[in-house]
Structure 1
Amino acid sequence: MNPKNPYPVLNELRPDTGQEQKVRCFPFNSADSASHPHTPDHFVLILFKEGNGTHTIDGTDYIVRPRQLHFLFPGQEHQWHLAPETRGKKLIITRLQFEKFSPGLPHPIARYNQQPVIDLASEVFQNIATEFSLIQKELASAPPSWEVIGLRTGLIATLASQQAERGLIDRALPNSYTNTLLLKFNDLVALHFRKQKSVAFYAMQLNVTPNYLTILCKKKFRAPAISLIQQKVLQEAKKLIRTSGMTIKEIAYELGFNEIAYFSYYFKSKTGLSPRQYRNQV
């Protein structure tokens, strides 16, 4: 430990050694936080129960406080300085396993990427802490149910999203119009993405121009509006291919593609695999 800095620092991300686990969930404290590095190929949820410090994610500093949930995504650079009393739990999910869980998330991934730190009300914190404990318990069973773990991960994301949305309203931010509009956009995409895949449709529903909606999405989510729509389509396609038992043709029609050839081209252009190759892989 640096004598000039009494807080442990996580400066480097290194791959885990040994056989990689799909999901890990474990308690941590400031004493061992620097000894548990995680690879950039992992998705990480960090639940802070007590303590304080600073967590830097992609160059942005976030103040660590009790009852917070932090989201980390593969490829993000981060380090933290934590006070000695800091403790909580980590949920670490491999990139491949998270891809299987992500269709169950309530919002596009870019939304969590844009707001990586969420302050939790006491009741919400307790509910999320319970889900962490239940995931940890499920992982200890033989064999664990990945479906149950995926559902509980989705529930954590849902609870955190609801808390974040309430926080935006409670704080009455100056850009509340923008936040409200983008929340409506997310809701509209979730409702209509199977049939409506153009930015123009959603812009018309929101009484704004397609260009303005794209500008807002880039500013808030670091992704254009069309990417968020496509991401939702792709998440649902992966979910149906993996779990539904429907034929590829049926899935294509379910998602609003009139031609299976175009659906296959669309899917492969986003994933590098044809729908059948993806089904065989998972």
Structure 2
Amino acid sequence: MHKSSASAVPVFKLYGETAAWPTPDLIHCESIPERSRLHDWEIKPHRHGDLVQLLYLQGGSAELEVEGVVNRVQQPSLQVVPALSVHGFRFSQDIQGHVLSLALPLVEQLSTVLDSPPLSHAVCYPVAEQQRYMDTLFDSIAEEYSTQQAGRELMLQSLISALLVWVGRRSQALMYAETQNQDRGREHLQRFTCLLESHFREHRPIEQYATELGISAAHLNALCRRLAGQSALQLINQRLLLEAKRCLVYTAMTVNQISDSLGFSEPAYFSRFFKRGCGLSPKAFRQQR
């Protein structure tokens, strides 16, 4: 999708419309094909000043971009589009699903009973095993919206409240999972640091450390980059370099002895390693200190 500058992004009530809100109950519901078919299955980047939208994709595929984040969806999913967020969509011609637009006053009113506002962040939630429930919920909302039966407003608010509870629960579950992953990541990094302290002289491959931790080498590298800002190999090399500096400053060991004590196959290799990491040869570093 093409990105647009904020000043060039149109602001609509509903996509392609500048008319007043079509219903008095602060809700609008339509099928995804109903509007996207009119625009060749592409909704170009735009935003709504006072609307929150929920796109429920039941079938087909879509490319959903919200605030620069693109989700390519091929499974039943629910996309939250907060107010004022720039968004654009591209749908397959066999797309099935619903678009539910909620005016901010209604969202704020219904959110007061929830622990945290579930519609303030752009998230795409996979529906997975709860598809039957979501199908029923959105079908009920669409049917109630299109008829004028007694108690329509109350029924719509009740159904949308159930939907917001679902989104709120999924949001909390995601936050909990992220916290758990962060905690496990820190635990893995701490264990890696301990293993490194015991074995850095052995020049172990990263795969061996990862195996002892019960994770892949790629996962270990990703954890090190995310939590320590460096790759696993960089951390290993830094530990070796630190020990080499300590030996050069605080002992009378020769460069050859230091090289041997740190597990290098030959002093020339150690000297190249040290100069690459420190900018000075071992001898020059010792003289400078």
State the TM-score, normalized to the length of structure 1: 0.49
Of the two structures, which has the highest relative contact order with CA contacts closer than 8 Å and spacing of 6 or more?
A: 1
State the TM-score, normalized to the length of structure 2: 0.48
